[in-house]
């Protein structure tokens, strides 16, 4: 009995020792695992919260075009110096032509269709016409009479020099020859104006200008009357912009004043005031500023125009800069405008003033003549933020 008790006590004592040893080992392992997890946290706490966003961004012209980033050259002048107008693109007088048939007849050939490009003098259609045959016959007859009159004149001249015929017969032959030549010239001019074909059976319908066919009012085989509009041709590179302005603003404008045309897709192009109508429209009681622009625009397109008059401007804000809302961005809590540099853009901090009609007045930070990003300028801001994230 005593022996069993001793064995039991020994077993309990051994179990206690094993438990103590095991507990020490577990505690040591836990302690050693916790140290590495705390160490990185301490290292991270020593680092700054984040890297500063860079102010410069390199971008190629190809990348700008792919991202549809537009730029604009800024000039001096406050909000009070700009004249905003909703304008319309119209064809210039030399940029649109109405094409007609010079003689009545049936359309036998159509060489061009709606939307096709045409060159100046290029044939669009052929009209078979009895009038053309008559014009051609008159031309041939007039030429024949002119030749006969020249022969009579030559014969009378010879007889007069030989003292066979009187001077009056020679002078009569001179007058008849001159009249016949004049009639032949008239007949040839009429045939040329009607654009009669060489065989004299048809007239040519040709475009007087280069451009594209924008209207088509004829079908193959149809009978057309003389001077009826068959086609309309427009040259998109020869357009003008007609901008209505109030009577007070019209007095501030002069030929040669700069204008900025804002297209529906966000692009801007430069223009110049060519003329301002002296009278006011009876419906709108406004004058019309006619602008010359470079580049191809579609007639009938609605645009917004910012006119920059050279006289009558606001002297208080004459030295300030005005930009569009798209050009102004917020970067790290500050207002910035992306200014074009040699390699890309630089985020320039600016001080903002008044706002009106989608335009913002800049009190400081920009200079006239600088080129700034307008459309899709937010993409430059996003790219700067992306670059800062990669540096972290």
Query: Which comes out higher in pLDDT, residue 25 or 265?
Result: 265
* CA-derived radius of gyration, the chain: 43
Q: How many residues does the chain have?
A: 392
Residue range 139-164: average pLDDT?
A: 92
Model pLDDT for residues 26-61, shown as the tens digit of each residue: 333 333 343 333 334 333 334 344 455 578 888 888
Domain residue limits, the chain: 53-78+316-392, 80-95+235-313, 96-123+206-234, 130-200
Structure tokens at 383: 């790219």
Confidence at residue 94, expressed as pLDDT on a 0 to 100 scale: 87
Question: Does 259 have pLDDT greater than 80?
Answer: yes
Model pLDDT for residues 75-99, shown as the tens digit of each residue: 776 666 788 899 999 988 888 999 9
- Per residue in 332-359, is it b (16+ CB within 10 Å) or e — as a string? eeebbbbbbeeebbbbbebeebeeeeeb
Judged by phi (left if over 0) then psi (alpha if -120 to 50, else beta), residue 295 lies in left
Model pLDDT for residues 290-329, shown as the tens digit of each residue: 999 987 788 889 999 988 887 655 544 556 788 888 889 9
For residue 128, what pLDDT band results from cuts at 50, 70 and 90? very high
**Mean pLDDT of all residues in the chain?**
80
Closest CA to 218 of 133, 99, 118: 99
Q: Which residue has the tokens 């430069």?
A: 270
Confidence at residue 102, expressed as pLDDT on a 0 to 100 scale: 87
User: Which of 1.10.3720.10, 3.40.50.620, 2.60.120.370, 2.40.50.100 is the CATH number of 96-123+206-234?
Assistant: 2.40.50.100
| Sheet arrangement for strand 117-118 | 96-100, 229-234, 211-216, 117-118
Best-predicted range by mean pLDDT (80-84, 90-94, 186-190, 357-361): 186-190
Q: Is 53-78+316-392's fold the same as 80-95+235-313's?
A: no
Model pLDDT for residues 1-19, shown as the tens digit of each residue: 444 444 434 443 444 433 4
Question: Does 387 have pLDDT greater than 70?
Answer: no
Model pLDDT for residues 218-231, shown as the tens digit of each residue: 999 999 998 889 99
Structure tokens at 253: 């404008």
Query: In this structure, are residues 272 and 258 in contact, taking their beta carbons and an 8 Å threshold?
Result: yes
Least confident among 72-76, 206-210, 280-284: 280-284
Give the torsion through C-alpha atoms of 174, 180, 181, 184, to 10 deg: 180
CA distance 92 to 299: 9
Residue range 333-356: average pLDDT?
A: 88
Instruction: Give domain 130-200's CATH architecture.
Output: Orthogonal Bundle (1.10)
CATH class of 80-95+235-313: mainly beta
Structure tokens at 376: 């899709």
| Burial (CB count <10 Å: 0-12, 13-18, 19+), residue 176 | middle
User: Which of 2.40.160.10, 2.40.420.20, 3.40.50.970, 2.40.50.840 is the CATH number of 53-78+316-392?
Assistant: 2.40.420.20
Confidence at residue 313, expressed as pLDDT on a 0 to 100 scale: 54
Confidence at residue 127, expressed as pLDDT on a 0 to 100 scale: 94
Give the torsion through C-alpha atoms of 163, 167, 173, 174, to 10 deg: 110
Residue range 189-206: average pLDDT?
A: 89
Question: Does 116 have pLDDT greater than 90?
Answer: yes
Confidence at residue 388, expressed as pLDDT on a 0 to 100 scale: 55
Confidence at residue 79, expressed as pLDDT on a 0 to 100 scale: 64
Query: Which comes out higher in pLDDT, residue 66 or 15?
Result: 66
Confidence at residue 174, expressed as pLDDT on a 0 to 100 scale: 93
């Amino acid at each position: 009995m005593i022996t069993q008790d001793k064995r039991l006590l020994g077993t309990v004592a051994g179990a206690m020792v094993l438990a103590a040893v095991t507990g020490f080992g577990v505690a040591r392992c836990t302690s050693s695992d916790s140290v590495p997890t705390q160490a990185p946290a301490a290292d991270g706490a020593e680092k700054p919260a984040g890297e500063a966003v860079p102010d410069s961004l390199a971008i190629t012209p190809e990348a700008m075009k792919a991202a549809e980033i537009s730029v604009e050259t800024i000039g001096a002048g406050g909000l009070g110096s700009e004249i905003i107008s909703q304008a319309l693109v119209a064809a210039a007088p030399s940029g649109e032509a109405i094409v007609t048939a010079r003689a009545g007849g049936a359309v036998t050939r159509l060489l061009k269709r709606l939307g096709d490009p045409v060159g100046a003098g290029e044939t669009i259609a052929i009209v078979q016409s009895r009038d053309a045959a008559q014009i051609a016959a008159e031309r041939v007859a007039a030429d024949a009479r002119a030749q006969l009159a020249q022969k009579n004149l030559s014969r009378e001249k010879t007889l007069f020099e030989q003292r066979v015929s009187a001077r009056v017969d020679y002078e009569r032959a001179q007058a008849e020859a001159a009249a016949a030549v004049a009639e032949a010239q008239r007949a040839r001019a009429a045939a040329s104006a009607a654009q009669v074909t060489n065989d004299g059976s048809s007239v040519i319908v040709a475009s007087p200008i280069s451009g594209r066919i924008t209207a088509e009012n004829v079908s193959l085989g149809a009978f057309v009357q003389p001077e009826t509009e068959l086609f309309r041709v427009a040259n998109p590179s020869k357009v003008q912009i007609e901008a209505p302005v109030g009577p007070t603003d019209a007095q501030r404008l002069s030929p040669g004043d700069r204008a900025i045309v804002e297209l529906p897709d966000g692009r801007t192009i430069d223009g110049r005031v060519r003329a301002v109508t002296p009278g006011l429209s009876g419906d709108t009681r406004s004058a019309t500023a006619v602008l010359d622009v470079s580049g191809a625009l579609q007639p009938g397109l609605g645009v917004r125009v910012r006119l920059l008059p050279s006289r009558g401007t606001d002297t208080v804000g004459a030295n300030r800069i005005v930009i569009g809302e798209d050009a102004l961005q917020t970067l790290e809590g500050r207002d910035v405008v992306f200014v074009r540099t040699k390699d890309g853009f630089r985020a320039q901090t600016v001080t903002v003033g008044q706002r009106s009609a989608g335009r913002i007045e800049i009190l400081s930070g920009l200079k006239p003549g600088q080129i700034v990003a307008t459309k899709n300028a937010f993409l430059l801001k996003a790219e700067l933020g992306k670059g800062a994230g990669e540096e972290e």
